[in-house]
Amino acid sequence: MGSCKRTKLKQGFLNLSIRVIFLFYLLFPFRANELLGQEFSRQSLTSSEMVRVLNRDERYNLRLGGVKLQIDAALQGEMNDNVNLASSKGALSDLIFRPGVEAKGGWQATENNKITGTLGMSFAKYVAHPEFDSTTPLIAPNSETDFTMAIGDWRVKLFDRFRMQEDPTTNGQLSSVAAFRRFENDMGIVVDWDLNQFILTSGYTWSTFLSIDKTFESLNRDSHTFIFEPKYLVNEAITLGLSNRYTETDFEKKIQNDSISVQSGPFAEIKVTKYTTTRVEIGYQDYRSDQTGTIQDSSSFSSIYSRLSVKNRLNKYMNHDLSFTRMAEAGIGSNFVDRIAVDYGVDWQIVKDTGLRGVVFYENLSSSGGDAEVADRYGILGRLSYPLTISTMVALEYRFTYKDSNLFEKDYIQNVTSAIVSYSF
């Protein structure tokens, strides 16, 4: 699915798209993220209530004309007993320092138009193993820009989400790897047509994966995703809809097989009580790959996919949330991986200004292909934070991850203890 000429055309189109998006940012800056959760008896997209939400002040510590900025800096010291995710015999431990900075900006250009952006950058320095140092500045996963236009009952949003990461634990298939350096970018458009009780959503996303190291160059790819999601607001508490998603993936190196994934299924968003909300989606996924690569995998996935999320506020001191996901995703050295993931998190304000975040997770991975890996991952995370001053925050964090695989030397145990100091300018 692709030639050198096609690749050049895509790169040219990408560069042009970036220029167009940022031109729109300059001319018509706007943000409407807060509008995503609207009540049944709500006003139109051009109502005074929308204007009030858009003009709501956000926290900032620097103002340049109409531009508001929030700048934070942090330093993290981390003790990691298995930086290379190896079995017990080959595990390497190290002390790692991670300085970082994050900037959030907002510009209220007009009564209806606003632009916001987030950019977080950091660097990792290994004391005992400098060969694992970051080779480029890291870009935080929450880095993004959004531009939204409201035109009558239509809302058009252009977005760009980008990140440069290297943590291998974010992909459960990886073992015996110290760094998974890659740049990822998702840019696209989402259009909402608001017909009061009916909302029709359609969109397109162009996703790019680019490995920084030669080790994972076979994963370099472009993915094109189209969505169509009609939904009906039954009442103030219940929304029903149908989610449809089509994704075509084209790998640059003809090692991995190109693929097409189709998902379709109903969903429900329910406000169970004043303090409890849930979304459940279940449908059918068909994931098929052609034989353009050399990995010798002709497997396909045709089965049920599902997503579930529940959020609940227990009291004014404690919130907790639960999520469940089952779907097929692009594999490493295989066509796909059938992934099941469960996460449970708790936020607890123990005493005034002292917060605790706890997370437990479980993940089951079943890869396609001949030498298929079947693995389970378990983990916990605990983070205790306390503000020393109005501008300075300190935190202690512990993370444990255990992987149990059917393949030789793919198991690992990792313990990470961190101390973090952050400062808001």
Tell me: pLDDT of 387 over 90.
yes
**What is the predicted pLDDT for the residue at 44?**
42
Q: How many domains does one find in the chain? A: 1
Residue 376: pLDDT band with limits 50, 70, 90:
very high
Tell me: pLDDT of 38 over 70.
no
Closest CA to 137 of 168, 162, 117: 162
**Tokens (6 digits) for 401:** 């991850």
Residue 28: pLDDT band with limits 50, 70, 90:
very low
Percent of the chain with pLDDT over 90: 74
Yes or no: say if 207 and 183 are a contact pair by the CB < 8 Å rule. Answer: no
Q: Which residue has the higher pLDDT, 44 or 258?
A: 258
Q: What is the CATH number of the domain that holds 246?
A: 2.40.160
Yes or no: say if 173 and 216 are a contact pair by the CB < 8 Å rule. Answer: no
DSSP 3-state of 297? coil
* Mean pLDDT in residue range 229-247: 97
* Mean pLDDT in residue range 3-10: 42
Distance CA 162, CA 301 (A): 29
Q: Provide the domain limits for residue 298.
A: 4-424
**Tokens (6 digits) for 86:** 């190896």
* Mean pLDDT in residue range 353-373: 94
Distance CA 110, CA 148 (A): 13
Task: Say how many Å lie between the first and final Cα of the chain, rounded.
Answer: 49
- Mean pLDDT taken over the chain: 87
